Amino acid sequence: MGHELLVAWFLPILVVFFAALVQGTAGFAFGVLSMAFLTLLWEPKQANVVVTLLAIWSSCHALFSLRGAVRWPRVVDLLLGLLVGLPLGTQALVAPDAEVLLRRLVALACVLAAAQNWGPPALPREGHQARPWRLTGWLAGTASGFLAGSVSSGGPPILWYVYRQPWSREELKATTLAVFLAASLLKLVFWGAYDLAGPPAGDLLTAPRLLLALALLPAVAVGTELGIRIFRRVDREQLRRMACLLLLAMAALVSATA
């Protein structure tokens, strides 16, 4: 009984609390950290759905404190790519035997994003050479949408793009959160459409999964709030270094659990 209680509740609560703490601080990592551990306890579809629902709350909570710092033109560029990548990722989610390959892709994306972001920002200021970087935003959004739809880990391509911009720490975090929130909401739309079109046995958004997410919500709320308070003590360079180290740690974690 004790072991069952540990697996059913204590470990998931601890996982989502820690993931929310990191997201509240850095503006990302909730999906990757949660999925890396929860897929060891639950089957992948359940983990993906529950993590997505909780990520929406965490993103909203953290974004509210930075709502005036979002760079909306860049968000739009990334969202155009997400609209392409999310349907492809949803198809990969429901495909058999795709989980290990997808998780290795996440690990590779983490390493590449960390390597590219270790140096200072390389992109020009707003208004210079805008078109090439708009295309880059679309491509990053597409890659993120695919990984978000398949394994709830769409962060690395977005971070590769956002952290190369010469923005303040508030703009970096707020824009990242805005994209992740939009991606999570779009995922729900695509999943709902899949549920309506597919057989009932293949439903993604089921009542037990919704109730499980609701039960874990308090831990996410507390973790996110603590992360927001930590963020206020971090400067831009510390935030960028933190992002790179987190990406490398996530790559190792995903590889170890693949």
Q: Could you write out the DSSP letters of every residue in 91-149?
A: HHHHSTT-HHHHHHHHHHHHHHHHHHHSS---SPPTTSSHHHHHHHHHHHHHHHHHHHH
**What pLDDT does 16 receive?**
96
- The residue ranking higher by pLDDT, 223 or 243, is 223
What residues does each domain of the chain span? 2-257
Tell me which residue has tokens 């963020």: 231
**What pLDDT does 191 receive?**
83
What is the per-residue pLDDT across 78-129, written as a single tens digit (0 to 9) for each? 888 888 888 887 777 666 555 555 565 666 666 655 655 555 555 444 544 4
Interval 8-12 mean pLDDT:
85
- Work out the pLDDT band at 133, boundaries 50, 70, 90: low
- The residue ranking higher by pLDDT, 23 or 109, is 23
Please give the single-letter amino acid code of residue 44. P
**What pLDDT does 100 receive?**
58
Q: Which residues of 204-241 are buried (b: 16+ CB within 10 A; e: fewer)?
A: beeeebeebbeebbebbbebbbebbeebeebebeebbe
Asked if 185 contacts 139 with a C-beta cutoff of 8 angstroms, the reply is no
Does position 25 have pLDDT exceeding 50, yes or no?
A: yes
What is the per-residue pLDDT across 61-78, written as a single tens digit (0 to 9) for each? 999 989 888 888 878 888
pTM of the model: 0.80
Sign of CA dihedral 186, 188, 189, 190: positive
CB count in 10 Å sphere of residue 71? 17
Mean residue pLDDT of the chain comes to 80
